[in-house]
Structures are given as C-alpha cells and as structure tokens.
C-alpha cells in the first residue's frame, strides 16, 4: 500500500497514536523528575490513547459488519435429540 492509497483518517489516526504515545512516555519521565504538570499531561495522553483505540475499534467493527456475509448452509442440529 503506497502513501497515496492510505485514507486520510487512517493516516491521522497513525499520527495521533504516535503523538499520544510519545507524549505519554515523555510526560511520565517528566513526572518522575519532579515536574508536577507532567503527571497531568500523562493522564491526558493516556486518555487520548484509549479514545483513539475505542474509535478504531468502532470503525473496524462497523466495516466488518457491513461486509457481505458468506453463503454457507446452516449446521444441522445434531444435539437436539
């Protein structure tokens, strides 16, 4: 998949994921060095990471459920005897 074929929301998600991970790690180190604001930034970056993961899950679930379903015969109920 070349760069032109990647849709812009997926590219934006990748940038947000990279940025939130980098910010989270950097703010954890800043908080350990005594910078109190670093702890608040770490909580915000972690929240952003969780939100982007949830949004990705919703998008992938929606895309999967809207695909055509395979045409397979139903299973026989052999355990209903």
pLDDT of residue 75: 78
CA distance 2 to 10: 13
Angle between helices 36-65 and 8-32 (to 10 degrees): 150
- 79 falls within a domain: no
Structure tokens at 63: 């895309």
Q: What phi and psi, each to the nearest 5 degrees, are found at residue 35?
A: -85, 105
pLDDT of residue 45 exceeding 80, the answer is yes
Bigger pLDDT: 11 or 61? 61
Q: What is the mean pLDDT of the chain?
A: 83
Q: What is the pTM of this model?
A: 0.65
| Domain region containing 45 | 7-66
pLDDT of residue 63: 82
- 19 falls within a domain: yes
- 32 falls within a domain: yes
Section 72-79 average pLDDT:
77
pLDDT of residue 9 exceeding 80, the answer is no
Task: Report how many domains make up the chain.
Answer: 1
CA distance 55 to 35: 31
- 77 falls within a domain: no
- 1 falls within a domain: no
Q: Where are the alpha helices (DSSP H) in 1-81?
A: 8-32, 36-65
Section 29-39 average pLDDT:
92
- 14 falls within a domain: yes
């Amino acid at each position: 998949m070349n760069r032109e074929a990647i849709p812009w929301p997926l590219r934006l998600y990748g940038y947000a994921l990279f940025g939130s991970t980098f910010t989270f790690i950097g703010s954890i180190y800043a908080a350990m060095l005594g910078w109190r604001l670093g702890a608040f930034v770490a909580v915000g970056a972690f929240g952003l990471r969780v939100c982007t993961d949830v949004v990705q899950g919703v998008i992938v679930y929606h895309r999967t459920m809207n695909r055509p379903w395979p045409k397979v015969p139903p299973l026989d109920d052999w355990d209903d005897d």
